[in-house]
Amino acid sequence: MDDFNSETDSDYTSYWRDWFISSRGNEYFCEIDEEYLTDRFNLTGLNTEVQYYQHALDLVTDVFDFDCDDDMREAIEKSARHLYGLVHARYIVTTRGLAKMLEKFKKSDFGKCPRVLCQSQPLLPMGQSDVPNTSPVKLYCARCEDLYNPKSSRHAVIDGAYFGTSFHNILFQVYPAMLPPKSQRRYEPRVFGFKVHAAASLGRWQSDERERMKERLRQARVETGFEEEDEDDEEEELEDEDMEVGDGFEGAMVQQ
């Protein structure tokens, strides 16, 4: 914003998109083609979503010619950024838009998966909602199929609706070769090289949860006779578990 204001007036009305794309914090956005922006069909419905719609559109398409005070200009500027974001969500699922975002994906412009076993898989931006002002942008890893928060606080405040809920899935449908192999590898907890027995840990967690539930029922004075049955079940489960464990040493490690 500051960079932009320091430009001269004649620069102010030219190359708004160049400025927007190259501003810090806007690295996730690609440049929307002029012809896409000037086709009214692509902007259907946005006039009710964006304040000062016509001025904002003029600014984005570099034909802004409106004398106004700084406050008004600031308001129009804010609307222009919002408009750009909303059009961006539509543009990036077009053939041209997908190709541009693919290039950015290949360059890891959206960052890399922080999960060690994903081996720096590039991420894609996505929204958890297509409705603006619902939730900020998240990053999707196609290898572990999980979502991450952007590392930078500048990116963490971008509206998720500027990317939408479908773009990342459409990209892999159109470019299936870009889909990485699914991550089969899972981290295995070990203590001094010995596997920590997952079934036993789960069993311990389940018994604790069960105890807590019983306590809640007791406090709510719910007496159903459930407890006796429950104890039996628990014993059976523990027996199964012992059989599964097989190796006594692994079982012993878990108890620590």
Decide whether 97 or 150 has the Cβ nearer to Zn ion.
150
Cβ neighbors of 83 (< 8 A, separation 6 or more) are 46, 49, 50, 53, 56, 57, 60
In 3D, which of 105, 84, 76, 86 has the Cα closest to residue 34? 84
Instruction: Write down the least CB distance from residue 119 to Zn ion, Å.
Output: 9
Q: Quick one: tokens of 146? A: 């999980």
Instruction: Write down the least CB distance from residue 118 to Zn ion, Å.
Output: 3
Decide whether 42 or 121 has the Cβ nearer to Zn ion.
121
Interface with Zn ion (CB under 5 A): 113, 115, 118, 141, 143-144
Instruction: Write down the least CB distance from residue 129 to Zn ion, Å.
Output: 22
Q: Exposure of 250 by Cβ count < 10 A (0-12 exposed, 13-18 middle, 19+ buried)?
A: middle
Decide whether 17 or 104 has the Cβ nearer to Zn ion.
104
Instruction: Write down the least CB distance from residue 80 to Zn ion, Å.
Output: 35
Instruction: Write down the least CB distance from residue 107 to Zn ion, Å.
Output: 18
Decide whether 95 or 184 has the Cβ nearer to Zn ion.
184
Phi, psi of 177 (to 5 degrees): -65, -20
SS3 state of residue 159: strand
Decide whether 50 or 142 has the Cβ nearer to Zn ion.
142
Phi, psi of 190 (to 5 degrees): -135, 150
